Every structure is written in C-alpha cells, then in structure tokens.
Amino acid sequence: MDIETTRRRLLEATLNHVPFDGWSATALKRAAGDLGLDGAAAVNAFPGGVSELIAFHSAEADRRMLDALPPLDLPAMRIRDRIAAVVRLRLEQNAEHREAIRRALAYLALPQNGPLALTCLYRTVDAMWYAAGDTSTDYNFYTKRLLLSGVYSSTLLFWLNDDSEGSAETWAFLSRRIDEVLKVGGNLGKGVKTLLDLPDRLFRFRPGGMRR
C-alpha cells in the first residue's frame, strides 16, 4: 500500500474517532489499530501530527469537491450560481462528519494555528474560483478570493448549526451572502486596484526605517 493510500485510509478511519477523542494522537492511533497498522505507520504517514492530519483532511475535501463537479455543468450557469453550487457541494459531501469539522475549526481557532487556518481557507476558495471558471490575474484575483472567504466561512459556521430539512436554511443563507458580496464587490475591487496602482515610490523606506 503506497503512502497516499495509507494516508487516505487513516484519515477516513480517524474521522470515526474524532467525535470522541477530538483531532488527537489518540484518535490517529486508534484509527491505525482499526486498519491493523502499528503506531509507527501512523506517525510515518503524518509526521506533522494533528496539524498535518487536519490539513490533509481539508485538501482531500477540496479534491473530492473538484472530482464531483463535472455532472453539475457549471459552464451553463451564471457565476453566482456556480459559486453557490460549489460551496453547497463541498458542504454536502462532508455532512456525515459535521462534528469532526466543528472540532477542526476549534483546533484551527487557536492562535498558534492561525497560519494553518488561513492556508486551508485560501486553498479551498482558490479551488472554488478555478472550478467556477475564474481566470483573473489582476486585482480581481485577490478581491474574489477575499470575498468568497467571507461567504464560505460564514456559511460553514451557519451550516454546522443548521438542523433544517435538507439544510434549506443554509442554502438560503448562502444565497443572501452571495447577493451581499455582489453589491460590495465592485467597490472593493476598485479600492484594491487603486492600492495596487499606487506608485512604488510611496512604499519605499523613509529615513528612520518608517514605511509609509
């Protein structure tokens, strides 16, 4: 069994233990036992420990999301509908493991895990925009990802506590968030463009080490 297969099998087995043991070495060790692996195999698969395991979980969710997109026929949709469909797909694919996601967010909320949280979020919204057909390379590249980060994060938190039939309230919430960012997105994009177009001389170091 190659290392990537081992990592995926360990992740799936670990998810069954996270609701009871959290994202922890204990959960990973028990997952290894479920698969008939020893503790050394688990450590070799995730030498970075819990942080690496959570990062892998996020990356796997992104991969599965992208793999499942073709039947949705995104090119036939409006951009706002593409984004809504991609966000909804990612959440629905992980509905079975809401508690694991809740605990992952609690782990990522710790100050020392801030960089990992931002990395996972950026990779997800970047994958979503490319799936939606975004090819921008100018200031729009940054504003789109910034805005979607807010939409996705708030929708994820809402979804975790939504007990409505078929998560209907979450999808309505998502639609409202997209409507809101469409209203402010144009002005934000212009603001970012203005900042990026400022002459380089304004950002040079001044005497005394101050940066203006």
CATH number for the domain that contains residue 104:
1.10.357.10
Domain count across the chain: 2
Q: What is the mean pLDDT of residues 143-172?
A: 94
The three-state secondary structure class of 205 is strand
Tell me, yes or no, whether 30 and 55 share the same domain.
no
pLDDT at 138: 76
> Predicted confidence band at 168 (pLDDT cuts at 50, 70, 90)?
very high
- pLDDT of 97 higher than 50: yes
Q: Which two tokens stand for residue 7?
A: 């990592």
The three-state secondary structure class of 47 is coil
Nearest by Cα to 60 from 35, 97, 29: 97
Q: Is residue 80 in some structural domain?
A: yes
pLDDT at 184: 67
Q: Quick one: 30 exposed, middle or buried, by C-beta within 10 A (0-12, 13-18, 19+)?
A: middle
The three-state secondary structure class of 180 is helix
Tell me, yes or no, whether 66 and 139 share the same domain.
yes
Tell me, yes or no, whether 15 and 90 share the same domain.
no
> Predicted confidence band at 41 (pLDDT cuts at 50, 70, 90)?
confident
Tell me, yes or no, whether 68 and 20 share the same domain.
no
65, 89 Cβ separation under 8 angstroms: yes
Q: Which two tokens stand for residue 158?
A: 């809402």
Tokens 């994820």 locate to 156
Q: Is residue 205 in some structural domain?
A: no
Q: Percent of the chain scored above 90 by pLDDT?
A: 69
pLDDT at 83: 93
- pLDDT of 209 higher than 60: no
pLDDT at 205: 40
Q: Is residue 203 in some structural domain?
A: no
Q: Is residue 83 in some structural domain?
A: yes
Q: Is residue 123 in some structural domain?
A: yes
- pLDDT of 10 higher than 90: yes
* DSSP collapsed to 3 states, 115-173: HHHHHHHHHHHHHHHHHCCCCCCCHHHHHHHHHHHHHHHHHHHHHHCCCCHHHHHHHHH
Q: Percent of the chain scored above 70 by pLDDT?
A: 86
Tell me, yes or no, whether 21 and 122 share the same domain.
no
- pLDDT of 198 higher than 70: no
Backbone angles phi, psi at 4, to 5 degrees: -65, -40
Tell me, yes or no, whether 43 and 85 share the same domain.
no
Tell me, yes or no, whether 56 and 76 share the same domain.
yes
Q: Which structural domain range is residue 34 located in?
A: 1-47
Q: How far is CA 8 from CA 1, 16, 52, 63, in A?
A: 11, 13, 12, 12
- pLDDT of 103 higher than 50: yes
74, 82 Cβ separation under 8 angstroms: yes
The whole-angstrom distance between residue 137's C-alpha and the CA centroid of its chain comes to 21
Q: Is residue 21 in some structural domain?
A: yes
Q: Is residue 17 in some structural domain?
A: yes
Least confident of 26-40, 94-108, 120-134, 182-196: 182-196
Tell me, yes or no, whether 110 and 57 share the same domain.
yes
pLDDT at 201: 38
Q: Is residue 13 in some structural domain?
A: yes
Q: What is the mean pLDDT of residues 97-117?
A: 97
**Entry pTM:** 0.84
Tell me, yes or no, whether 130 and 31 share the same domain.
no
Tell me, yes or no, whether 22 and 112 share the same domain.
no
pLDDT at 1: 67
21, 27 Cβ separation under 8 angstroms: yes
> Predicted confidence band at 195 (pLDDT cuts at 50, 70, 90)?
very low
Tell me, yes or no, whether 71 and 147 share the same domain.
yes
Tell me, yes or no, whether 28 and 58 share the same domain.
no
Domain stop point among 9, 25, 47? 47
